Structure 1
Amino acid sequence: MLPLDAIDLDTLVMALENQYMDGETFFWLDPATGRIELWGEEAADEADAEGWDVDERGGLRIEPVESHEVYRDMEDFIAGERDPKCRTRLQRAVEHSSPFRHFKDALYEFPARQTAWYEFHDAIMKRRAIEWLAEWEVVDRTEARAAIERLREPR
């Protein structure tokens, strides 16, 4: 197992958020080093030439978070919004087609809440990243729980 600080959580979050990869291109984590790499045609060719592959190295494929989970995050944020005008506008935004785009567009009307959303979303995604690491036994579960609790504390 690795210490949590051996993992670049920002890179792991980015990999967990990346919904635009095809089946042949993905991010993976090397549990021996904590490095996160992009796997694609070029990386596969290089690995083949060097005589290794992701599975032999024990690499863990990083699957992106399902869009319904991110949608639920937006709903949770909206539910906690105190400004009724902002809450109503955001709620209407997610009821349209392309709710993610409409949500971000609606946030631009409320600059102070835009910052709050990004902080809220960042904390949720870091918790997911740490939970993912603990689930795959890359980091110690006790250390992971403590880190998640620190992320839940109000700032």
Structure 2
Amino acid sequence: MLPLEAIDLDTLVTALENHFMDYDTFFWLDPSTGRIELWGEEAADEAEAEGWDLDDRGGVRIEAVDSSEGYRDMEDFIAGVEEPRCRDRLQSAINHSSPFRHFKDALYSFPEQQTAWYEYHDGVMKQRAIRWLADEGLVDPGEADAAIVQLREAR
């Protein structure tokens, strides 16, 4: 198991949010170092030339979180917005097609809430990343739980 500080949580969050790659291009984590790498055609060619295989290294593929989780994050955030006009506008935004785009567009009219959203989102995604690491058996569950509690208290 790796110590939690061996893993760049910001990079892991990026990997967990990455919905734009094809099946052959993905992020993976090296369980011996905690390093997160992008796997694609160039990386595969390099690995082949160096004589190693991703599976041989025990690489753990990082799958993007389901968009339904991101949608729930927006709903949870909206529920905590106190200003009725902002809350109504954000709720209306996620009830359209392309809810993520409409949500971000609606936030631009409310700069304070925009900042609050990004702070909220960052905290939620870091918690999700830490939970993923524990679920994959890459970090100690007790260390993960303590880190998640610390993130929640920081909000």
TM-score if structure 2 supplies the norm length?
0.98
Instruction: Give the CA deviation at 1:51.
Output: 0.9
Alignment of 1:32-111 (within 5 A): 32-111=32-111
Aligned length: 155
Which position in structure 2 is the counterpart of 1:6? 6
Coordinate RMSD, CA, aligned: 0.7
For structure 2, list consecutive stretches of 5 or more residues without a partner in the other structure. none
What is the rounded CA distance, in whole Å, between the counterparts of 2:99 and 2:59 in structure 1? 34
After TM superposition, the runs of 4+ consecutive aligned structure 1 residues lying more than 4 A away are none
2:115 paired with 1:115: yes
What is the rounded CA distance, in whole Å, between the counterparts of 2:42 and 2:14 in structure 1? 20
What is the rounded CA distance, in whole Å, between the counterparts of 2:154 and 2:30 in structure 1? 33
What is the rounded CA distance, in whole Å, between the counterparts of 2:92 and 2:143 in structure 1? 40
Which position in structure 1 is the counterpart of 2:152? 152
Instruction: Give the CA deviation at 1:8.
Output: 0.3
Instruction: Give the CA deviation at 1:95.
Output: 0.6
For structure 1, list consecutive stretches of 5 or more residues without a partner in the other structure. none
Per-residue CA shift, 1:106-131, capped at 9, x if unaligned?
00000000000000000000001000
What is the rounded CA distance, in whole Å, between the counterparts of 2:41 and 2:112 in structure 1? 42
Residue 24 of structure 2 aligns with an amino acid whose one-letter code is E
